[in-house]
Amino acid sequence: MMDLERMSPAAGHWSHQQYGSIFGTGHQRPSGRVAWVAEDDCEQPEKAPRAVLGFMVAAQVDAEWELENVVVAATARRRGVGTRLVTELFEHARSRNGSAIFLEVRESNQGARALYRRAGFQETGLRKSYYASPPEDAILCRLSL
Ligand SMILES: CC(C)(COP(=O)(O)OP(=O)(O)OC[C@H]1O[C@@H](n2cnc3c(N)ncnc32)[C@H](O)[C@@H]1OP(=O)(O)O)[C@@H](O)C(=O)NCCC(=O)NCCS
């Protein structure tokens, strides 16, 4: 997951410790976040490890869920992997009586904004100078379940 994220400048960037907290590894306690990993289909998984095509991380915030990060390998984009990951979150949140999903995305990230719009999110606002390195406004997106 970290390799994939490091190769995607537009993705959210987290420390090793933050990723560890998803799984509660080492001295970390589980953070309450949920991660989904999309793997390549492999006819003989016992002979070759499945390639990681993408991943998504989300966190429950009361009755809502925040989609915190979604990344698909550059070689696997525009094949529906991102949509499949986001759809999994919809199902997961619905099954736990979630009322909405929200997220922030860099204003210039037209690919991700298109994915979210197509998945049913509405762009509901703008947060000035939300991001650093490089500084940029965030677009707020929301989907009622
Ligand atoms: C954004 C991202 C996750 C999309 O993943 P993906 O697997 O390519 O998405 P999908 O194949 O499911 O795309 C679904 C639809 O979203 C839209 N879309 C996705 N990427 C797009 C792009 N680069 N430009 C325009 N539209 C795009 C299209 O409508 C697409 O449908 P189509 O291919 O039939 O035209 C991927 O580009 C990525 O990892 N980007 C870098 C990390 C990032 O920006 N993450 C978001 C952080 S908020």
- Indicate whether residue 70 lines ligand 1 (CB < 6 A): yes
Residues 101-137 as b or e (16 or more Cβ within 10 Å = b): bbbbbbbebeebbebbeebebeeeeeeeebbeeeebe
Q: What percent of the chain has pLDDT over 90?
A: 72
Q: 68 falls in which pLDDT band (50, 70, 90)?
A: very high
* 82-117 pLDDT tens trace: 999 999 999 999 999 999 999 999 999 999 999 999
pLDDT of residue 65: 97
Q: Which long-range contacts (CB under 8 A, 24 or more apart) does 26-31 make?
A: 31/59
* 38-61 pLDDT tens trace: 999 877 767 777 889 999 999 999
- Indicate whether residue 80 lines ligand 1 (CB < 6 A): yes
Residue 128, beta-bridge partner list: none
User: Whole-prediction pTM value?
Assistant: 0.93
Which residue from 44, 110, 104, 56 is spatially nearest to 81, judged by alpha carbons? 56
106 CA closest ligand 1 atom index: 48
- Indicate the top mutation candidate among 4, 71, 78, 107 to test ligand 1's pocket, ranked by most ligand atoms within 8 A of CB: 78
H/E element, 100: strand 100-106
**Taking 90 as the threshold, does the pLDDT of residue 133 lie above it?**
no
Please state, in angstroms and rounded to a whole number, the distance separating the CA atoms of residues 65 and 61. 6
- Indicate whether residue 115 lines ligand 1 (CB < 6 A): yes
Q: 116 in the Ramachandran plot: left (φ > 0), alpha (ψ -120 to 50) or beta? A: alpha
Q: 22 falls in which pLDDT band (50, 70, 90)?
A: confident
H/E element, 60: strand 52-61
Map out the domains of the chain with their CATH numbers: 2-144 (3.40.630.30)
